[in-house]
């Protein structure tokens, strides 16, 4: 027990601790974004879904954990306010990204037999579907967040 305490003893002071947290935060987001890019590249280069499953599950697990912990603590985002406008803008952006990726993927797969109308239609449909699904998830997330904030605010008032 004493040995464990010695091993787990924090050798950092408060400033070093804050700096380490900052480094870890930057490292976390770098890793998260790189994994996202890696997944996109793998899927677009024809790697089978089975081969990216573990990576995708890890990515989703981290995302869900971050979301749940943020909502539990009444945190939405450092800069963006939770609301319908944010949800719509973010959904449209995600839909556009998916549509563009679909167009690139379609062009790569069809080569010389590229059909612009079919590609645009399919990309538009994928983008629209992504927008709607993202909007639905964001609306649900916002509702959970707002409910949690109300609970936390009431708790704070009771404690006074």
Max CA pair span of the chain? 71
Q: Is 16 in the site for other proteins (CB under 8 A)?
A: yes
Residues 6+ positions from 148 with CB-CB distance below 8 Å: 71, 72, 74
Compute the distance between CA of residue 31 and CA of residue 138 in angstroms, rounded to an integer. Answer: 23
Separation CA 52–CA 42 (nearest Å): 8
Residue 22 as a binder of other proteins (CB under 8 A): the answer is yes
Cβ–Cβ contacts within 10 Å for residue 14, how many? 7
| Using rule CB under 8 A, residue 18 touches other proteins | yes
Which is closer to other proteins, CB of 13 or CB of 160? 13
Of residues 19 and 147, the one with the C-beta less far from other proteins: 19
Residue 14 engages other proteins in binding (rule: CB under 8 A): yes
Contact 95, 137 (CB under 8 A): no
Residue 15 engages other proteins in binding (rule: CB under 8 A): yes
By the rule CB under 8 A, 13 interacts with other proteins: yes
Pick the closer one to other proteins by CB: 18 or 66: 18
3-state class (DSSP) for residue 77: coil
Closer residue to other proteins (CB): 16 or 66: 16
| From 17-25, 74-82, 98-106, 112-120, span contacting other proteins (CB under 8 A) | 17-25
Catalog residues that contact other proteins under the rule CB under 8 A. Answer: 13-16, 18-19, 22
């Amino acid at each position: 027990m004493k040995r464990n305490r010695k091993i787990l003893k924090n050798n950092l002071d408060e400033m070093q601790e804050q700096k380490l947290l900052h480094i870890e935060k930057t490292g976390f987001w770098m890793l998260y974004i790189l994994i996202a890019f890696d997944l996109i590249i793998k899927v677009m280069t024809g790697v089978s879904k089975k081969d990216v499953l573990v990576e995708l599950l890890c990515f989703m697990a981290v995302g869900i954990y971050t979301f749940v912990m943020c909502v539990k603590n009444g945190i939405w985002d450092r800069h963006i306010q939770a609301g319908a406008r944010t949800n719509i803008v973010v959904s449209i952006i995600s839909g556009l990204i998916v549509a563009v990726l679909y167009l690139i993927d379609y062009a790569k797969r069809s080569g010389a037999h590229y059909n612009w109308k079919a590609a645009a239609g399919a990309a538009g449909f994928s983008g629209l579907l992504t927008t709607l699904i993202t909007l639905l998830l964001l609306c649900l997330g916002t509702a959970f967040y707002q409910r949690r904030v109300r609970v936390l605010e009431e708790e704070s008032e009771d404690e006074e």
